[in-house]
Amino acid sequence: MVVVSTPDSVLVVGASAAGLSTAEALRRQGYRGRLTILGAEEHLPYDRPPLSKQVLSGVWEPQQAQLRPRAALDALDAELILGDPAVGLDVAARTVRTASGRSLRADAVVIATGLRARTLPGQDGLAGVHTLRGLDDAQSLRKDLLAASRAVVVGDGVLGSEIAATARSMGLDVTLAGPQHAPMAMQLGPFAAELLSDLHAENGVRLRLGASVAALETAGGRTTGVRLETGEVLPAEVVVVAFGAAPVTDWLDGSGLRLENGVVCDACCRAADGIWAVGDVARWHHDGLGTMLRLENRTNATEQAAAVAANILGEDRPYVPVPYFWTDQFDAKIQVHGVLPTNAEVDIVDGATADRRFVALYRQAGRTVGVLGWNMPKQTRLRRSELDTNAIATPTGGTS
């Protein structure tokens, strides 16, 4: 097996959180060779968490989501090629073909192409129906929300819950529909998901949970709402489809890489000799958990990027993070370290749930496997040290 430990050139495909962080980590860790970052979008690299919060609500101008000022990007000394998606990869030659016909070769290629939102049948081309993954999506959704009075959000996961909260804060009549018994039940477990459910209800979000959406209702090329499996119709001028996203790997079809719910990698995030994957698109073997894992969260994008950069430079160390994610909805800042198994004992160790300021420890067989903080970021961080990282198994929060 040929392992490139000191490449002369690195090509990063995907110019967002994970891709840019990999490039920055390479430079920070002393890499001085040729560096190219290839992105499908025309925008300078931007951050996605603000899209469903500050950008959608209008608290931020879209450019405030930009990850780095132009000067910092220039200081990276990287060639930034934007608006030209990769369309193919020759693994043996480590060469990427782009839509415009470029052929880019490098000693190491990093795949950081993230996710694409899933859609409902019949959604394409229908006015008033949105997904939210990129900056253009956020701007177009905001425009429609500003002109509407009723919105339905299809999807009771993190993104759907956040969009429902933001749209409601913008004054719309909002219904959140999805198959779970409470918003984010899969990520938060029953205890915290019930609290979140209460928070949404108190803020006026109509919850239509426990029923899947059967179809979009339409008239004259526009949506008029959604129909649930139960037959109930939820009328709306705007429908947001937020029921998951799929790894962007179609450009790798036929490359010989293993593509199963992401780019399959070893414990060091290596997909093949000289080929690496990072961020939402990467599914790697987490040696600590003893399982394949793909994390869809912002912190992982940065942490995995640092690990991949070190491994490209020859460290060859397995990536074994403690899963972490956060979400902001209404006045709640929720943070989760580790995992929150449904059968765990939940112990409030700081604050009180009645005050909506608390830290809960999740224990299984006497060992702390998860920490959930609700509007107590400092205490949550401190409590993280109580996690028994060896005991964390069967991941849940923000993972797939």
Contact 138, 154 (CB under 8 A): no
Give contact residues for ligand FAD (rule: CB under 6 A): 13-19, 38-41, 48-49, 51-52, 85-86, 112-115, 132-133, 159, 248, 251, 279-281, 296-299, 301, 325-327
The one-letter amino acid code at 342 reads T
Q: How many residues does the chain have?
A: 400
Pick 84 or 350: Cβ nearer ligand FAD: 84
Pick 210 or 321: Cβ nearer ligand FAD: 321
**Cα–Cα distance between 110 and 308 in angstroms, integer?**
9
According to DSSP, residue 367 is labeled E
CB of residue 17 to ligand FAD, shortest distance in Å: 4
Pick 22 or 175: Cβ nearer ligand FAD: 22
CB of residue 282 to ligand FAD, shortest distance in Å: 8
**Cα–Cα distance between 351 and 211 in angstroms, integer?**
34
Residue position matching structure tokens 């930009």? 66
**Cα–Cα distance between 176 and 146 in angstroms, integer?**
18
CB of residue 309 to ligand FAD, shortest distance in Å: 14
**Cα–Cα distance between 384 and 122 in angstroms, integer?**
45
Pick 299 or 368: Cβ nearer ligand FAD: 299
CB of residue 344 to ligand FAD, shortest distance in Å: 21
CB of residue 127 to ligand FAD, shortest distance in Å: 21
Find the Cα–Cα–Cα–Cα dihedral 250, 253, 256, 262, rounded to 10°: 20
**Cα–Cα distance between 265 and 322 in angstroms, integer?**
18
Residue 297 exposure: Cα atoms within 13 Å on the Cβ side: 23
Pick 141 or 228: Cβ nearer ligand FAD: 141
CB of residue 136 to ligand FAD, shortest distance in Å: 10
Contact 7, 108 (CB under 8 A): yes
CB of residue 235 to ligand FAD, shortest distance in Å: 25
Pick 113 or 223: Cβ nearer ligand FAD: 113
Pick 327 or 368: Cβ nearer ligand FAD: 327
Give the helix ranges, DSSP H, for 153-289: 158-169, 185-202
